[in-house]
Amino acid sequence: MTLKLTQGCLRSMKQLSSHMIAPLCGLVFAVFLGLFISALADGMNGLRIKDGWSRETTAGARVGGGYLTVMNHGQVPDRLLAVRAEHAGMSEVHTMAMQDDVMVMRPVEEPLLIEPGAILELRPGGLHLMFMQLNQQHVAGEMLDIVLVFERAGELDATLEVLSMRDSMDRMRNSGDHMGHGDQASHDKNGGANDDHNDESHSHK
């Protein structure tokens, strides 16, 4: 009696385990496949660009900003050398700083370093992308294709979602950045007149 019970139990355990092992194997396989695919997507460099966005521009505006996040999942540091965009005659990576009580922005002096495990955040009020000589208005709802040029990773495509003024305010609020003086900043030593970065203010020193 006891023997029969034990045998039955063993049999049912075997059945149970064989039933469970198959889907379990499938799950493990799927997880590994997922890891493999995401590793492929990251490429050799391990840089991942995300959350790209821009603010809509008015019809006559000649400049527009760009914001995004670059994460370095790789093992080696990399540097952001340049940015290119078809919709702009000139594109630069900008930094902002206080100068004589005025927020000014200018091209970064050195390529931005992204250490392994680090996150580079380009956002209003801080480091940002600047598109000048716009040949196309930034229209809310549209996507802007840009290319980021890295020292090691080379050229990586990125897209910026153009947000309406209202949505970009929300985005800034939600990102925990309360500075938000991207728009009020004057360009270079332009005296804080407005945010219309005319071409003169971009002459390189």
Nearer to Cu ion, 94 or 123 (CB): 94
Q: Which helix (H) or strand (E) holds 38?
A: helix 2-42
- Applying CB under 5 A, the site for Cu ion has a residue count of 3
Q: Which two tokens stand for residue 92?
A: 């630069």
Q: Is 173 exposed, middle or buried (0-12, 13-18, 19+ CB in 10 A)?
A: exposed
Shortest spacing between CB 176 and Cu ion, in angstroms? 21
Calpha distance 156→79 (Å, rounded): 12
Q: Which stretch binds Cu ion (CB under 5 A): 4-12, 24-32, 75-83, 123-131?
A: 123-131
Under rule CB under 5 A, which residues in 88-107 are in contact with Cu ion? 94, 105
Calpha distance 203→51 (Å, rounded): 30
Shortest spacing between CB 107 and Cu ion, in angstroms? 8
Nearer to Cu ion, 48 or 136 (CB): 136
Q: Which stretch binds Cu ion (CB under 5 A): 1-9, 86-94, 114-122, 141-149?
A: 86-94
175 SS3 class: coil
Nearer to Cu ion, 49 or 83 (CB): 83
Cα angle vertex 150, ends 144, 155, to 5°? Answer: 50
Pick the binder of Cu ion from 104, 114, 120, 130 (CB under 5 A).
130
Q: Which of 73, 75, 74, 112 is nearest to 92 (CA)?
A: 112
Handedness of CA 127, 108, 131, 61 (dihedral sign): positive
Nearer to Cu ion, 106 or 171 (CB): 106
Shortest spacing between CB 174 and Cu ion, in angstroms? 22
Note whether 138 binds Cu ion by CB under 5 A: no
Residues at the interface with Cu ion (CB under 5 A): 94, 105, 130
